Structure 1
């Protein structure tokens, strides 16, 4: 989980730690910008308007320190949920395509290694990649050549099958027809886990 303590003003941190006073929270836009800056890779810090940083939100009734602390925690969690990157571990592998033919699979061409039926979105991984992305993992695939990204972008694939034991660092994408599989061919892709 992301530590946002360094992004909060010291007065807010002190009030949260002691519970003695009602902390003055930054405006939601300022907090959201701080989270975006913390998550952005190598981004230059954007200037924060002073008027927004010191703005105090009016409240209808005075809140207790516990209520204020709970609200601050909820706001921080909501900001983190909105900006949370949903990507996990990533590897580069060789991708091919297969379809349900006995020549390309075992004696049960329509049944995966996990016992499910083959269908669009099912992939088979080599045994070494199954250690990184176990059965049931949800992954995205990006064609590093860029040629097939229009077919792969925005899709989530499910690891439900296994490739032959001799294959390493490979992924096989299930396709409905042999001609689709042949057209896809072999290529380098980036496999990324989706949390």
Structure 2
């Protein structure tokens, strides 16, 4: 009972002609146990990570896994694998990327030669794979001939069988449009 409530009750009892007794204190062993419990260090229960914290943890794990494995891509069994996929282009603006538009999923900066793959294609061509791209319409083959791209980014989970090529300007990305391509893993 708080002290002000006790004073109010006591004042009412005195007006009625009754005696006002102070409340009894708890036994000293109860007080000692309460102090001991208050001073005991309990392990903190970790709070559930927020979506941003979880994304940062996932990105850090992806970076660590790519940095830990430093074997050449040429020795991996994916060399020579091909896939036909839908290709689009993107550039570093928040509307087309996440909150960090200039940082790829592997933690590197965006630059010419970076491609993002849908998650199903990442199983075939993991991060760090060097690939060539051939435009099946033939329109951009002269631009793509002899270029090697690096898989360093990923696309939204809703995308399937898709390749996104990073381009420095919005105009270049719009000119690329959407097209069918053949992606091939190389050395």
Query: Alignment partner for residue 132 of structure 1, among 111, 121, 124?
Result: 124
Query: Alignment partner for residue 110 of structure 1, among 98, 102, 105?
Result: 102
Corresponding position of 1:156? 148
Q: How does 1:63-102 map to 2 (within 5 A)?
A: 88-102=80-94
Q: How does 1:44-59 map to 2 (within 5 A)?
A: none
Query: Alignment partner for residue 187 of structure 1, among 172, 176, 179?
Result: 179
DSSP 3-state at the match of 1:181: helix
- 1:160 Cα deviation from its structure 2 partner: 0.1
DSSP 3-state at the match of 1:192: strand
Aligned residues: 110
DSSP 3-state at the match of 1:150: helix
TM-score using structure 2 length: 0.58
CA RMSD of aligned residues (A): 1.2
TM-score using structure 1 length: 0.55
Whole-angstrom distance in 2 between the partners of 1:142 and 1:93: 10
Structure 1 unmatched runs, 5+: 1-86
Corresponding position of 2:13? none
Moved over 3 A (4+): none
